[in-house]
């Protein structure tokens, strides 16, 4: 799973090469947030067995199942209004749930990275790295909320654009 998620960086190259039409900023934010959460889950074995991690992975897969069939049909030049509507309408609430469960996962991970009082000066570097990770995760929560809000706003704009374009195309054909 971690290898597949790390390979999701290729999505950014697909956008840059024009294979996929999407906003680079929002996709970049999604790829970075997924990879950061995955690294956090891998680093903290205690969090791996939490139910929220299973829900998170399930939501990521649902998002991909909503996006990729539509993209494939567009590449084959056989777009479907059902797939278009599904991709741009259902994807938004699933993304919101995914961002929320990501926040819960980070919040549940915080107790496991809380800095411990160093017993000696040799373990000071371990306490320091845990302190940095704890602050990074606490800083990440509001960044996640802000980034997810901007992404949802962009997704709503993108949905309106694509559905309006489809409606104009179907009116021209009639």
Return the active site residues.
95, 102
Q: List, in order, residues 6 or more apart from 144 with CB less than 8 Å away.
A: 33, 99, 102, 103, 106
CA 63/CA 48 separation, integer angstroms: 21
Q: Helix or strand or coil: residue 156?
A: helix
56 within 8 A of 102, measured Cβ to Cβ: yes
150-170 exposure pattern, b = at least 16 Cβ within 10 A, e = fewer: ebbebbeebbeebeeeeeeee
Residue whose structure tokens are 């054909």: 173
CA 2/CA 7 separation, integer angstroms: 9
152 within 8 A of 95, measured Cβ to Cβ: yes
Q: Helix or strand or coil: residue 19?
A: coil
């Amino acid at each position: 799973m971690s290898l597949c998620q790390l390979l999701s960086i290729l999505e950014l190259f697909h956008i840059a090469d024009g294979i996929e039409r999407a906003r680079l900023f929002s996709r970049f934010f999604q790829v970075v947030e997924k990879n950061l959460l995955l690294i956090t889950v891998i680093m903290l074995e205690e969090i791996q067995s939490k139910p929220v991690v299973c829900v998170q992975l399930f939501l990521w897969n649902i998002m991909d199942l909503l996006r990729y069939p539509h993209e494939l049909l567009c590449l084959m030049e056989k777009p479907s209004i059902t797939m278009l509507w599904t991709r741009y309408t259902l994807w938004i609430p699933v993304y919101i749930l995914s961002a929320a469960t990501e926040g819960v996962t980070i919040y549940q991970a915080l107790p496991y990275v809380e800095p411990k009082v160093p017993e000696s000066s040799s373990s000071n570097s371990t306490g320091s790295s845990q302190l940095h990770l704890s602050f990074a995760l606490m800083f990440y929560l509001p960044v996640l909320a802000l980034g997810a809000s901007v992404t949802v706003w962009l997704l709503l704009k993108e949905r309106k654009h694509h559905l309006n374009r489809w409606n104009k195309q179907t009116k021209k054909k009639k």
